[in-house]
Amino acid sequence: MCGGGTVWYDAGMSEQPTTPAAEEPAEATIVFREQSDGRRVGRLPGGKVVLLDLNWLDRVRDGEQWRVRLRHKDTFAIALPLERVSGTPTTLVPPAVVETRPPARDDSGGDTASGNGAGAPAAPAPAPPVPPEPPEIDVVETPATAPAPLVTPADILRPSDRVALFVDGANMDGAGRLAGYFIDYRKALQYFTAGGTFYAAFYYTAVASADPLQQRFLDFLSHSGFIVRRKALKAIRDPDTGEQVIKGNLDVEIVVDMLNTAGNYDVAFLFSGDSDFERAVDLLRSQGRRVYIVSARSGISRELAYVADKPIFFLDDHRAGLAREDRFPGVRNG
């Protein structure tokens, strides 16, 4: 696992197909749900994610059930629709070709449909009546649809909800850069517990020895109400290439705390977009916990977005409640 790493995949990209295992069906019936990114997604009974082929996005609607042919990959499958099951069954076939024939004629050479004999000219059709002029109608312009109001944590929390925050420090450093501002964690603590009952907030980071600026920041977090989990950076040298790799990952510590304290909170805000947390989030939700993700819009993995509670709190939309007012990316503050 890479600290702060975000793993993306695109079903439209060229991939080497894998041979499906015996238990992986060639066809299945899937209920598709539309995601925030516009994709249609379903799951097989075993939990494997199924993505609708990109060429069929305009034909398959949210909530529809389809019989599909499956193309299996290592961690997901791509679905090619065959027949809609929900509503009126619709088999996808090419449109029928309508054959146009000239009117039949009798043996005498006349037009059977008109009833005229050979050589008898057809009676001219009466001129259609001229429709009356339509009355003038005042055109009323439809006002533009107002944007949906921003959902804040206060909108989804109840006073009885016990709230916990779990912050992947390395991942959120990158997410803040993507969103264009630095996060004020004292403001974040107030923002994400408003309307609920605060239980605990955890911050996880790898530290370098003798770094006074980092130590001052961790002291600030501790005084602001965070429980700080830290691990020393470790340098590992590759024996073959001599390359030195710096490691300081705390994903395991985050998952352990989330599971070990699950009985003490009802709602968790996970500040990370890392796909490594997919299974932990899925397990917590199966135990009745609500788990919301906080990340940058362009920094969240698709796997994590699928399993988390909605809405996802994108840093891009909540700058007013989270941004540090004394620091901005690219500006040196004295």
C-beta of residue 77 within 8 angstroms of C-beta of residue 48: yes
What is the rounded average pLDDT of the residues 229-250?
Answer: 71
C-beta of residue 216 within 8 angstroms of C-beta of residue 205: no
pTM: 0.55
Q: Of residues 171 and 148, which shows the higher confidence score? A: 171
CATH code: domain 153-322 is: 3.40.50.1010
Secondary structure letter of residue 276 according to DSSP: G
Q: What is the pLDDT of residue 275?
A: 92
Residue closest to 202 by CA, chosen among 152, 272, 154: 272
Q: Give the residue extent of every domain in the chain.
A: 27-90, 153-322
Q: Of residues 314 and 57, which shows the higher confidence score? A: 314
* Residue 199 in this model has a pLDDT that exceeds 80: yes
Q: Is residue 197 exposed (0-12), middle (13-18) or buried (19+ Cβ within 10 Å)?
A: middle
SS3 percent helix, strand, coil of the chain, rounded to 5, is: 25, 25, 50
Helices (H) and strands (E) in the chain, counts: 8, 15
- Residue 307's pLDDT band (cuts 50, 70, 90): very high
Q: What is the pLDDT of residue 143?
A: 59
Question: Per mean pLDDT, which range of 129-133, 172-176, 250-254 is the poorest?
Answer: 129-133
Taking the CA atoms of residue 54, residue 77, residue 307 and residue 31 in that order, the dihedral angle to the nearest 10 degrees is 70
Right CATH for 27-90 from 2.40.50.140, 3.40.50.300, 3.40.50.620, 2.60.40.1180 = 2.40.50.140
Q: What is the pLDDT of residue 260?
A: 96
Q: What is the pLDDT of residue 86?
A: 76
Handedness of CA 18, 20, 25, 30 (dihedral sign): negative
What pLDDT digit, counting tens, does each position of 84-127 carry?
997 544 545 444 444 445 555 555 555 544 444 455 555 666 66
